Chain A
Amino acid sequence: MASVAATVAPLSRARRDGVEWRLASPLALVYAAFFAAPLLLLLAISFFDDTDLTRVGGSQWIKFFTDPFYLSVIGHTLKLGAVTVLATSVLSFPLALVFCASRTGVQRLLLLIIIMPLLTSVVVRTFAWIVILAREGVINQTLLALGLSATPLPLLQTEFGLVLALTQIEMPLMLLPLITVMRTIDPNVLDASRALGASRWRTFFQVILPLSLPGWVAGSTLVFASSVTAFISQTVIGGGRLVFLPSVIWQQSMVVYNWPFAAVAAVTLLVTVLFGIGLLGALGAHFARR
């Protein structure tokens, strides 16, 4: 505790002098110019009634939020993020446990496998999933050859196929923070749990899970934000029948030229992502208190 107090004292002095404010100002200026300003511009554009940006008004917002179709698009987008978070969570916990229990050499190998999806380009990943999921793809060829199915299963252009692909693509974003936090858990705590007679499952649910929650919250936040905005995977693997907010933005801005409406969709997507992240954060805080 002494070392913590030692570092805190100079920091508070620095705060009094306003030094850290000046140090952060270049970054703050860059953010203001290249992030906050365009965002305000986006918000401003959404308040035009016509595509030539001449009449100010809220009609685009009214249209977006009174049309059941666009409300359902928001719902689908949120659901896609939630389901992907769920799928990556279920798969990540066992893998993270295996990772933490492994020897260093095995850990290195696992780490390479885990980050592999991040090392391939999004085009390659997406096309690979078409090859795997298509009617004449790897899965269907195998099922047909084994006689497990008489006709090819529809996998591509379905929600199941999309979630499957996104789960693989987003896995590293869940696993890396989870492993980082899990490795800091004191092994003595687990031994204590075991010694006090708790089963392996009970140890997992009552000791490991709560202690690794900060990692899960961080991972879920990344996975949610990334899958909800994964435009290429959503359009190519999901197809035309699954409409999510990013494709609405693309269509309205690039094809229909209705920038105000696209801006409404973009702001909505931003708020949707923030809402999801906020919810995950609150969930994490709630469980952490228990």
Chain B
Amino acid sequence: MSSMPVDRRRVLVGAGALGAAAMLPSPASAKGSVTAAIYPGTWDEAYRSIVAPALKKAKDVDLALEPLFAVDQIAKAQAARGAPPFDAFVLDPGPRASAIERGLFEKFDPSKLANASKVPAGFADAHGIAVNTQIVGIAYNPKKLPKPKSWKDLFAEPYLSRLGLTGFQTTFGTVSLIEISKAYGGSDTDVEPAFVEVKKALPKAAAVMTPASLPGLFQQGQIDICYTNTNNVASLKARGVDIDFAFPEEGAITFITTLHIAKGAENIENAYAYIDAALSAEVQAQLMKPPSSMIPTNKDVVLADLPIKSLDELSKMKTHDWSKINPLRAGWIERFNKEVSK
């Protein structure tokens, strides 16, 4: 081993050369790139396998995806103070409202997108545009239970003893509990009636779940009914679980997942190209298939295997003002913990 003496100086020279190489511009293999934050899991997989190739094909732009939960996206963008580590956000209405409050978005111009005219009214604004819709209602096992009609059915037999409750941690849990409150006389900001019902239900309900354990508990028959979104229903159904979605008569709930351009983003034009690609009918039709089972926002997509026939049905569903919910949510989460804890 003496033929190749390695002394400190040589190592330093080598390391310096490596460092310099890293600083050189990499050979341009594409027209550029865009970095987008994406939810870990289903979203990450779906966007990696469907949106990234579509963007590459359409605009020759490389899509780099950074898997981050909503809270991390906001924390990172805020910590970066105007030099965000990614060009685009993906957010649910709650985090979207707090990001707007903190001024984390570049002003969004829907007219720069070829597909902006394809989304329903109200799905695009000066902050961003919706790429996915979620519908929240009641999931139940049709082999064990008759079809539930109302939110109130959840808290009466035969449903109550098969009911799985979740708290305010998720968007679907929060909006469901708000609608349950309204069925019992509450409002968007008064969820007291839901707490009363949950408290009464505790001795009989099948489970108080963490959202992450919902699919497993449903699959194993620990619970046969719960409030959740259509994505959960579709992915369980695809695995052969007996599960169906029911619209409560008070009205199902809908909310949108939106893409936004980060303030101070490096690749604004490419970010628009990315969002346009994610909105294209071709991409959205693929995202609609299991396992991602995302409800499209592009009206040109022919809906299949979804609980709705047309996107027009969404306009009749309940929506919520998250700028009012956000300030109250931390308190609700804590209160739920306290009410259900043994």
A-side residues, CB < 8 A to B, are 69, 72-73, 127, 130-131, 134-137, 156-157, 159, 235-236, 239-243, 247-248, 251, 253-258
Instruction: Tell me, yes or no, whether B258 is within 8 Å of chain A by CB.
Output: no
**B162: nearest chain-A partner, CB-CB:** A135
Q: B334 — which chain A residues lie within 8 A by C-beta?
A: 69, 256
Instruction: Tell me, yes or no, whether B83 is within 8 Å of chain A by CB.
Output: no
Q: A254 — which chain B residues lie within 8 A by C-beta?
A: 69, 71
> How far does the Cβ of B213 sit from chain A's closest Cβ, in whole Å?
4
- Give chain B's interface residue range (CB within 8 Å of chain A): 20 to 34
Do the beta carbons of A69 and B210 come within 8 Å of each other?
A: no
| Distance in angstroms between the alpha carbons of A273 and B216 in the assembled complex | 30
Instruction: Tell me, yes or no, whether B338 is within 8 Å of chain A by CB.
Output: yes
A-B contact pairs, 16 of them (CB 8 A): A69-B334, A69-B337, A73-B341, A130-B217, A137-B220, A157-B207, A159-B342, A235-B210, A240-B207, A241-B341, A248-B337, A251-B333, A256-B334, A257-B74, A257-B98, A257-B330
A239-B213 in contact given A69-B337, A255-B333 (Cβ < 8 Å): yes
Instruction: Tell me, yes or no, whether B209 is within 8 Å of chain A by CB.
Output: yes
> How far does the Cβ of B150 sit from chain A's closest Cβ, in whole Å?
24
- Which of B164-172, B176-184, B185-193 interfaces with chain A? B164-172
Do the beta carbons of B333 and A236 come within 8 Å of each other?
A: no
Q: A247 — which chain B residues lie within 8 A by C-beta?
A: 210
| Distance in angstroms between the alpha carbons of A235 and B69 in the assembled complex | 19
Most buried by B among A130, A159, A241: A241
Q: B48 — which chain A residues lie within 8 A by C-beta?
A: none
B-side residues, CB < 8 A to A, are 69, 71, 74-75, 98, 165-169, 202, 206-210, 212-213, 216-217, 220-222, 329-330, 333-334, 337-338, 340-342
Do the beta carbons of A236 and B210 come within 8 Å of each other?
A: yes
Sample of 20 more A-B contacts, CB < 8 Å, known A134-B221, A240-B340, A255-B168: A69-B341, A73-B341, A130-B217, A130-B222, A131-B220, A135-B221, A136-B221, A240-B166, A241-B340, A241-B341, A242-B342, A243-B337, A247-B210, A251-B169, A254-B69, A254-B71, A256-B329, A256-B334, A257-B74, A257-B98
Q: B210 — which chain A residues lie within 8 A by C-beta?
A: 235-236, 239-240, 247
Q: A127 — which chain B residues lie within 8 A by C-beta?
A: 216
| Distance in angstroms between the alpha carbons of A254 and B169 in the assembled complex | 9
| Distance in angstroms between the alpha carbons of A254 and B74 in the assembled complex | 11
Do the beta carbons of A255 and B71 come within 8 Å of each other?
A: yes
> How far does the Cβ of A59 sit from chain B's closest Cβ, in whole Å?
14
Do the beta carbons of A255 and B169 come within 8 Å of each other?
A: yes
| Distance in angstroms between the alpha carbons of A157 and B216 in the assembled complex | 12
Q: B213 — which chain A residues lie within 8 A by C-beta?
A: 130, 235-236, 239
**A73: nearest chain-B partner, CB-CB:** B341
Do the beta carbons of A241 and B342 come within 8 Å of each other?
A: yes
Count of A-B contacts judged by CB separation below 8 Å: 84
Q: Of B75, B165, B207, B342, which contacts A156 at CB under 8 A? A: B207
Do the beta carbons of A240 and B220 come within 8 Å of each other?
A: no
| Distance in angstroms between the alpha carbons of A92 and B166 in the assembled complex | 37
Most buried by A among B206, B210, B217, B341: B210
Do the beta carbons of B330 and A240 come within 8 Å of each other?
A: no
Q: B208 — which chain A residues lie within 8 A by C-beta?
A: 157, 239-241
| Distance in angstroms between the alpha carbons of A44 and B316 in the assembled complex | 48
A239-B209 in contact given A134-B220, A251-B333 (Cβ < 8 Å): yes
| Distance in angstroms between the alpha carbons of A147 and B330 in the assembled complex | 47
**B102: nearest chain-A partner, CB-CB:** A52
Do the beta carbons of B167 and A240 come within 8 Å of each other?
A: yes
Do the beta carbons of B222 and A69 come within 8 Å of each other?
A: no
A156-B222 in contact given A69-B341, A240-B210, A254-B69 (Cβ < 8 Å): yes
| Distance in angstroms between the alpha carbons of A165 and B329 in the assembled complex | 33
10 nearest interchain CB pairs?
A: A240-B208, A136-B221, A134-B220, A256-B330, A235-B210, A236-B213, A134-B222, A241-B208, A255-B169, A243-B341
Q: A136 — which chain B residues lie within 8 A by C-beta?
A: 220-222
| Distance in angstroms between the alpha carbons of A156 and B217 in the assembled complex | 9
Q: B221 — which chain A residues lie within 8 A by C-beta?
A: 134-136
A240-B209 in contact given A130-B222, A135-B221 (Cβ < 8 Å): yes
| Distance in angstroms between the alpha carbons of A172 and B98 in the assembled complex | 46
| Distance in angstroms between the alpha carbons of A134 and B333 in the assembled complex | 26
| Distance in angstroms between the alpha carbons of A248 and B202 in the assembled complex | 21
| Distance in angstroms between the alpha carbons of A255 and B337 in the assembled complex | 13
Q: B212 — which chain A residues lie within 8 A by C-beta?
A: 235-236
Do the beta carbons of B340 and A69 come within 8 Å of each other?
A: no
> How far does the Cβ of A19 sit from chain B's closest Cβ, in whole Å?
21
Q: Of A242, A243, A248, A258, which contacts B330 at CB under 8 A? A: A258
> How far does the Cβ of A130 sit from chain B's closest Cβ, in whole Å?
5
Q: A236 — which chain B residues lie within 8 A by C-beta?
A: 210, 212-213, 216
| Distance in angstroms between the alpha carbons of A157 and B75 in the assembled complex | 33
> How far does the Cβ of B60 sit from chain A's closest Cβ, in whole Å?
37
Do the beta carbons of A135 and B222 come within 8 Å of each other?
A: yes
> How far does the Cβ of A138 sit from chain B's closest Cβ, in whole Å?
10
Q: A258 — which chain B residues lie within 8 A by C-beta?
A: 330
| Distance in angstroms between the alpha carbons of A258 and B75 in the assembled complex | 11
> How far does the Cβ of A56 sit from chain B's closest Cβ, in whole Å?
18
Q: B216 — which chain A residues lie within 8 A by C-beta?
A: 127, 130, 236
> How far does the Cβ of B62 sit from chain A's closest Cβ, in whole Å?
30
Q: A241 — which chain B residues lie within 8 A by C-beta?
A: 202, 208, 340-342
